[in-house]
Amino acid sequence: MSTERPIIRLRPGRARLVRYGFPWVYADELVLDRRTKNIPKGAIATLQDDKREPIGTVTVNTDSKIAVRLLDRDPAAVIDQPWMEKRLRQALTLREALFDAPFYRLVHAEADGMPGVIIDRFGDALVVQPNACWADVMWDVLERALVRVTGASVIVKNMSGRARVLEGLPEGLEVTTGAISAPVPVPMNGATYMADLIGGQKTGLFFDQRPNHAFAAGLAKGGDVLDVFSHVGGFGLAALAQGATSALAVDGSAAALELAQAGAEAAGVLDRFDTRKGDAFEVMAQLTKERAQFDVVICDPPAFAPNKGVLDKGLRAYERVARMASALVNPGGYLVLCSCSHAADIAKFREVSLRGVSRAGRDAQLIYTGFAGPDHPVHPMLAESAYLKSIAVRLA
């Protein structure tokens, strides 16, 4: 271990969770003297308990609420390209065991031992979100490790999103390896999705919903489907691939709906697919006025409760979604509701969703509870890594 590595120390009584593997240390849990505050953002340091006993190798950003992120429980670990390659190979081995095609989340941040780093794979192209400062500082090393482990010919560095803002990092987007000029076709659940890796939302496609897409699609055989907050057609295109009679995708983004139509055309189901651009709540209200009814209605909104400060407001929004969507479901039909809010756990989300269904005057049977797919593993000590939840109900 280098003698030049900075030392950062915990306050008394704060070491137990870190020893058990909890990957974050908040600023108020540290001894933040002048020396500590002067540690460069993204630096690798040794974490000590209050008795000066080393307990792990960490990265430091005292400008962030999460001031320390655990990289390795070994206090002598060297964070270099071989270390990164080892973590990436472990992540790749899991995904190759799960999927027969290279379209998946390759690295799910802390749950894959790479704090703050999200990597989605689209064939030989990778979209990387370096949402923690250390990954920005060591970008060149990370990029070389990725090419060596995966053989990727295209790497997109996506520097956008709330997480980077909280870290005090600049935003932007850059293709740092290779070149890409067109959306990438992604096969999933029998459908074809068009992922815009440059101008799309997040990394261009949401792999996390894969098992929930499959379940909802199974309910939709021979039926009419409404996919609200559809993005590039996630639920609707999967339903058409499994034999739905029709699917209507609703989203506020014209660009996302154009990609959804391109996916429908690529899969040969464009004649059964339609879109409507607009605010989801306004469109649902208009469909209710039109007395429209569907056999399966799916609502997969953005995070209404990304943090605890807006939890109550977010829960009210989820209840409103459930109430409005319930009015659009045929008797005996199905309603699928999703949340990607970190602050709203499954119990709270299920409670407000079912209350919304009840307030719509509908009797319900809860038939399914779903989460993110296995390429989005959960860190056992970090509830935030289990952010996605979904329920399905049958409405009388």
Contact indicator for 372, 98 with CB cutoff of 8 Å: no
Whole-angstrom Cα distance, residue 129 to residue 119? Answer: 6
Whole-angstrom Cα distance, residue 374 to residue 207? Answer: 10
Specify the residue for token string 């860190």. Answer: 379
**Which pair of tokens denotes residue 202?**
């997040």
Q: What phi, psi does 186 have (nearest 5°)?
A: -120, 115
Q: Which amino acid is at 189?
A: N
**Which pair of tokens denotes residue 71?**
């990289």
- Residues with catalytic roles: 340
Whole-angstrom Cα distance, residue 394 to residue 317? Answer: 21
Pairing of strands 389-395, 364-371: antiparallel
DSSP 40: P
DSSP 10: B
The helix/strand/coil state of 158 is strand
Contact indicator for 3, 77 with CB cutoff of 8 Å: no
Is the CA virtual torsion 369, 374, 375, 380 positive or negative? positive
**Which pair of tokens denotes residue 324?**
């409005």
